[in-house]
Amino acid sequence: MAGFSVLSGNDVQALLDGSEKDVIEQVRAAYLTHHSGDTVNPDSYFLRFPEKPDARIIALPAYLGGEAGVAGIKWISSFPANVAKGEPRASAVLVLNDYDTGRPLALMEAAGISAARTAASAALAATALSAAAPATVGVVGGGVIARTLCQYLHAAAVPLDRVHCHDLDPASAKALTDHLRGRYDSDARASTLEAALDCDLVLFATTAPTPYVPAEHRFRPGQLVLNISLRDLAPETLLPADNVFDDVEHCMKANTSPHLAEQLTGGRDFVTGTLAGVLLGEVARHPDRPTVFSPFGLGVLDLAVGHWLYRRALEEGRLTELPGFFGETRRW
């Protein structure tokens, strides 16, 4: 009987560092596997707290077929109040289960995995959906996800020469701009929301619970908007755009901007297709429109990156085994 192992956050980060292109490829393959129907990706379950309306813990169970053949669940918390204490907003674990027996294989620290798969998805979308390399990049939100998004965009050869960073917290905007200047020699600067929204490539990485980009705002033709945090845009801003999703059904929930657009219009005529469909050449887009990519965040992506890390950790001897973790190993 297979044993049970733990992979620490330090080891996860060590395996992820310098492997951005590999992670992007794992995410690409997972999207295509999901598109082919060889996955099970139920709705995420949100655990909310009456006295902490901005906090939540989310369960993302999934099965990823193809070469991985693995099941599992990510359990990720988002407590925005942590930021004021200088602590990370999000923390997470990922459990991998053997598909043949159903038994858990490993427990992995997963905040880094979650950030990496989110950033890899954004980088993949940036390269697949951009007609040309952006001259300017606008980043709205100055936290860990924004930093990781820029890391993966750089790995995907998306220029970060001129970056406008906006955050309601000036210290966060400064931290991100200082990071971009030091690591990528970028001409990054703290900017207004309007300046960030006017860039060729716009990234939303906030914790906003409801839209604040006004209904009358219109992105220009050719702009690419990575709607990572999903709730920044008034639904009216989506209607004149090509709207590309990771999974349409998943995005039409929980009052995301696309969900609000569906409620506003009473239908899904604004939906253009999925990123996998774009990668396969199945989605027709309009050059006279902006493009908005809205990824709800699929559990199969966490499994893809987590299983790849598990295999590498096994090869490199990084797993901490827990002998005797299972109390009964035989039926009789």
- The pLDDT score that the predictor gives to residue 89 is 87
The Cβ of residue 212 has, within 10 Å, a number of other Cβ atoms equal to 14
Q: Beta-strand (E) ranges in the chain?
A: 5-7, 39-40, 45-49, 52-64, 70-78, 90-98, 104-109, 137-140, 162-166, 187-190, 201-204, 224-226, 242-245, 271-274, 291-294, 320-321
- Mean pLDDT, residues 215-228 taken together: 97
- The pLDDT score that the predictor gives to residue 84 is 85
CA distance 189 to 196: 10
Under the banding of pLDDT at 50, 70 and 90, the label for residue 140 is very high
Residue 3, pLDDT above cutoff 90: no
CA distance 140 to 211: 13
- The pLDDT score that the predictor gives to residue 2 is 64
| Span 128-294 CATH architecture | 3-Layer(aba) Sandwich (3.40)
CA distance 30 to 33: 5
Residue 262, pLDDT above cutoff 80: yes
What count of Cα atoms within 13 Å lies in the side-chain half-sphere of residue 16? 25
Residue 226, pLDDT above cutoff 70: yes
Under the banding of pLDDT at 50, 70 and 90, the label for residue 230 is very high
Answer for the pair 261, 270: CB distance below 8 angstroms, yes or no: yes
CA distance 142 to 166: 7
Residue 1, pLDDT above cutoff 80: no
Residue-wise pLDDT for 14-38, tens only, equals: 999 999 999 999 999 999 999 999 9
- Mean pLDDT, residues 182-206 taken together: 97
| Span 5-113+299-321 CATH architecture | 2-Layer Sandwich (3.30)
- The pLDDT score that the predictor gives to residue 329 is 80
Return the percentage of the chain with pLDDT > 70, whole number: 99
Domain ranges of the chain: 5-113+299-321, 128-294
Residue 93, pLDDT above cutoff 70: yes
Under the banding of pLDDT at 50, 70 and 90, the label for residue 114 is very high
Helix (H, G, I), strand (E, B), or coil: what is residue 299? helix
CA distance 105 to 107: 7
- The pLDDT score that the predictor gives to residue 331 is 81
Mean pLDDT value across the chain: 96
